[in-house]
Structure 1
């Protein structure tokens, strides 16, 4: 649209949706834009059906202030994550509220991409307001292309973002599972600028997601977090060292995790090391902390905590999907019911 500042439109959406900034004076201050400019672009978003304008209660007899919020009904997103034997999914509205969720089994040795496409087709037919997709995979991803997927050979070197965007003509974001999980934990717990590492032992190999001072770390080649290949001892990698663990963590697994914790502490010095709560117990964390203290002074050991991995994962995919929504051109068409 003529005279529209696309960057400002995106910033307004994100300030209202993610930072919960509600008034023009606040938006003008935070975005360093004039009152009339902010008002003009808010009016465009209102006309586009994205933003609601509300009049607040009178305060101290003063003039009622207008407040703005994102419309939950504006769009719906679909988050999906791929496991070896299933595809999980969640449908959410434009403010991130979960509307429905479920899982779809994947037969052994069945390629994941055709199964994923069939599931998305079905969900889009049932939910015509879905207008963007966020997909999580247990693999290294660069700009939507999967390039390191040792446990998912059918995904290796697949431009998953391109395939899905072409197939469904909607915006798509594809992200590594642990990157999504650490984003989801960060959003859900409002850890501000803290440095976090999310460690997942995994059914099919370990991985980690890394946030430093609140910023996701992908690395120069998008390989950050692939801890399965980290060398440890006796010519074993971390992945090999924990491969034979049982439900109760054995001493070798405890030691391997403690060595990795030491590596994280000595290189990144995070505030938190987060574990999948279904993989470790509080007793395991006590053992890991005690063993790590044999390698480094206890003052440098991050706080070890448990969390619900699937919830964090889906929350992260939801946040990534909403981020994608806010970055779309103002004139972009959305899928709507006829």
Structure 2
């Protein structure tokens, strides 16, 4: 099979662009050394990207006092991604919308309450974001439930169940669409700053619904065959989470300790992130007291307590969306 020169040219261009992104600012010479491409190839690619606006001309500088070199700067504002997170917080149904640049930095955000979450709720937030940032190229959503092939299978919001979510927003906005479970998105965001060969479990306790978990192994979110990995409310361990009194440290503490112990025996995570607004010192002490055996104590993970998962969700969604954009997938998302 012959080499497709057009594909090679595009591949080289993407290599140079995203290497410059990681450096933020660089020269032709340095990029040629980093990518293994010729000086002339890198120079031509950068010229094309300057013309398209994806790269900006920087200063003419000399590191050694000799002939100055042209510096090039990655334009992180050339395109943007939109992250939308649907949550129920303190009994209120909320959607948080955040726009990120190609460095993953937040440049705009908004939040609004709704009587109930439905497709029109997201459209209102998307329209507002696109009006402010028409350069948005990817839509990423976090939902409390399970999605399969773009269709919402289970969800805390009844109006979304059975909806062809991906198709609806692709057809309306003609942009790639990413859907992620809320806890999967959160643990993905937390994992951004953790070594990629770790096993990480995130567990969210929303009070109004049963808890959910997200699992990362070697840097990848474990979703399972049908997307139900982490739906721990299905676990037959004799705990009624909906009737649980979260204000009783011993009751909730021992239940959580038991849950963590199960993950220890199946996943053996290095980190467990617990998301909830009830983690007093008494609850934390009870969780540690509830470890059933000394042997299990030796494999018990590091526990991180987070009052809320909003920050990690947005971090995870924007990171995933930027990765999709970097892959060169700028048309319909399949």
Aligned to 1:122: 128
Q: How does 1:268-307 map to 2 (within 5 A)?
A: 268-276=267-275, 278-294=277-293, 296-307=295-306
Q: How does 1:305-320 map to 2 (within 5 A)?
A: 305-307=304-306, 308-320=308-320
Where 1:157 maps in the other structure, the secondary structure is coil
Cα deviation 1:24-57 (Å, max 9, x = unaligned): 6776676665655555444443332223354575
Offset of residue 160 of structure 1: 1.4
Give the Cα separation in 2 of the matches to 1:139 and 1:13. Answer: 36
Aligned to 1:3: 6
Residues 112 and 154 in structure 1, CA contact (< 8 A), matched pair in contact too: yes
Aligned to 1:222: 227
- Residues 137, 54 of structure 1: alpha-carbon distance in 2 compared, 3 angstrom cutoff: same
Deviation larger for 256-265 or 59-68: 59-68
Residues 194 and 271 in structure 1, CA contact (< 8 A), matched pair in contact too: yes
Aligned to 1:73: 77
- Residues 17, 289 of structure 1: alpha-carbon distance in 2 compared, 3 angstrom cutoff: farther
Offset of residue 276 of structure 1: 1.6
- How many residues align? The count is 322
Correspondent of 1:99 among 107, 118, 128: 107
Cα RMSD after superposing both structures: 3.1
- Residues 250, 17 of structure 1: alpha-carbon distance in 2 compared, 3 angstrom cutoff: same
Offset of residue 105 of structure 1: 1.4
Aligned to 1:325: 325
Cα deviation 1:160-216 (Å, max 9, x = unaligned): 1221111111222111111111111122x3434322111101232211111112222
Aligned to 1:336: none
Give the Cα separation in 1 of the matches to 2:273 and 2:129. Answer: 33
The normalised TM-score by structure 2 is 0.82
Correspondent of 2:50 among 46, 57, 60: 46
Structure 1 position 194 matched with structure 2 position 198: yes
Cα deviation 1:109-136 (Å, max 9, x = unaligned): x451122123322332344333321111
Correspondent of 1:144 among 127, 144, 150: 150
- Residues 279, 125 of structure 1: alpha-carbon distance in 2 compared, 3 angstrom cutoff: same
Deviation larger for 313-322 or 41-50: 41-50
Aligned to 1:134: 140
Residues 94 and 113 in structure 2, CA contact (< 8 A), matched pair in contact too: yes
Give the Cα separation in 2 of the matches to 1:62 and 1:155. Answer: 63
Cα deviation 1:270-304 (Å, max 9, x = unaligned): 11101125342344233212212537431100001
Structure 1 position 253 matched with structure 2 position 258: no
Aligned to 1:179: 184
Residues 82 and 138 in structure 1, CA contact (< 8 A), matched pair in contact too: yes
Segments of 5+ residues of structure 2 without an aligned counterpart are none
Aligned to 2:97: 89
The normalised TM-score by structure 1 is 0.81
Aligned to 1:207: 212
- Residues 253, 296 of structure 1: alpha-carbon distance in 2 compared, 3 angstrom cutoff: farther
